[in-house]
Chains A and B, each alone.
Chain A
């Protein structure tokens, strides 16, 4: 098993550009989520999904979109990048939302 994979590892964007952060897991987990990690802020939940076709907002959803068309994939879209979205983004998955969360290695995003 590859676990949770994220691409790209590092990305530089200009203000106003859009992009999609990819997240995939091969553990057949129903639950997936996206977090951002900023210095001194810990991890903050952006969006999560409890199964294919079902998504919901977390703590800081503005400026981000998600969809879950398959169990394996949970992409995060930045609609119009802003410098405030400079952060490290983590994807996580879990079998039933109560068990261990498995985190991806993170994507570092820099918005200029």
Chain B
């Protein structure tokens, strides 16, 4: 069965510094999708970044980038130039590859604190 593991319940980073959040997953599929979502105190889930497994190039979105290691089944999120507004829960998610389904598996989350 597919699983997603986030081994860091909580992380802290100084404002303007860089932090990396870890995520590992387990699947026997070769083609799938991986996501990072941000959940601020408002509880809204906000998409941060998406990675297609068939793409070797790591996805980037402004200050957010991923390190996708397919063989190691690792999908870490790097946040550069951290800002106070980055403080939130971050969830890693795996999306099943099959068309006609809409199944995601989420990790348990990492709470990121940004220190001024």
Contacts and interface: CB of A to CB of B under 8 A. Distances in A.
Contacts of A106: 43-44
B91 A48 contact: no
A12 interface: no
A41 B9 CA distance: 11
Contacts of B43: 88, 105-106
Nearest to B50: A100
Contact of B95 (A35, A56, A98): A98
A33 B101 CA distance: 11
Interface in A62-112: 88, 90, 92, 94, 97-98, 100-101, 103, 105-106
Given A98-B33, A105-B43, A40 B102 contact: no
A45 B47 CA distance: 17
26 contacts: A31-B102, A32-B102, A35-B106, A42-B4, A42-B6, A42-B91, A42-B107, A43-B45, A43-B106, A48-B101, A48-B102, A48-B103, A49-B102, A56-B101, A58-B103, A88-B43, A92-B45, A97-B102, A98-B33, A100-B47, A100-B50, A101-B35, A101-B45, A103-B46, A105-B43, A106-B43
